[in-house]
Structure 1
Amino acid sequence: MRGRRLRRRVPQLLIGLFLYGIGIAFIIRGVIGAAPWDVLSQGIATHIPLTFGTITVIVSGIVLLMWIPLRQRLGIGTVLNALLVGPAADVGFLLIPVVDALWVRILFFAVGLTILAAATGLYIGARFGPGPRDGLMTGLHTVTGRPIWVVRTALEVTVVLIGWLLGGDVGVGTLAFALLVGPLCQFFMRVFDVEVPTAPPGGEGQDLRPDAVTG
């Protein structure tokens, strides 16, 4: 059973990370406002002659360095997230055309948001560790004692502000992303979650589905 689960989990992780980058590319091609961390990467890209994907990898690496004082533990999924999402986004930019029609741009945003949420469900459901930004959020939550929503809001407002000042794309899509991504990700996490039970001494495997986790 563990072998069969692993054969599902590894492809699910890799597919999820690739699709996450494609979702980012669709959202950015929509040009109605990017996701908060992508606004930051866009802003940096206006000042540094590197691709969006390369900058995303660099930002992810910096975020992982911030894990050290927070004593967060890396998973293989964390490392692959940091390394693969950015290049996948660059591939998406090669495949997805620049468009002018507003209705097409709105469609691109909607498609991108849906793909990104499904991709989140895939890679988190594979259970190989959180993404760099998710780990930063949970680490700060643990250290500060602040509620998750307060920490997440503070982080995203900060990166949006910095990204906007650097020239990143902030718009109605940024707000729509903030409002919709949570419920969509929760739905897809339930769809794609892979049960990986543990077997404590003298007991059966624990239920580790997202809806079984509290607090």
Structure 2
Amino acid sequence: MANSSNTPPQASADESHSDADRRSEERAATVLRPALLQWEDFKTFCLVRNISSSGLKVRVFAPVKDGARISICMIDGVVFKGTVIWHENDAIGVAFDTPIALDDVLAALRRPPADTSKNRGLRLEVVSRARFIALGQAYDLEVLDISSRGIKARYAQSVPPVGEQGTLRIDDLPDRKATPRWAREDTAGFLFLDPLSFTDLGQWVMRQYQAGLGEQAP
């Protein structure tokens, strides 16, 4: 990771005036990287299409408008903050509050995690219900977080042995083949045998959010 804090690598004042950095600021790198996007009280998945030292272009699955203040996390623990300066269809353009050191960020994106056991993909906390069906039995679950690769869930009863394949039925998503990867106390992690696309995942999160707003309406 390029920076151990929650602040992305930034260009120094002296460097920002050099010809090399001006060229870097004009350069946009295509990354096609999943990320977590937050604005106001809503957090969801998005797909970063390209990034420069001054901003990025993002595919979104929610109606984010010009002027919105947002934060985006592509690297665990590093948050980019900025303002939406344009939107078109499912794409937005974001201007960073502070220019970043682009080469350092790109290097961090390419670097594998030091702890490979934590290479689980970006995870989003959610509130949803699910049911895991295996060995002729159904196990009711409360989904705590989700990624394209699987979920963490709370269960009220025992779950099948780790590694036992079954069908995972999450509210408002197609059934998926999955298997418990770990279980402790009253929570378990389930791995999708066929990962969710970020399009399906982003659209599902938006539907869950809208459903929650509907439940809150008088």
Q: Which has the larger radius of gyration?
A: 2
TM value normalised by structure 2: 0.28
Instruction: Indicate the structure with greater helix content.
Output: 1
| Higher RCO, Cα 8 Å, sep 6+ | 1
Instruction: Indicate the structure with greater strand content.
Output: 2
TM value normalised by structure 1: 0.29
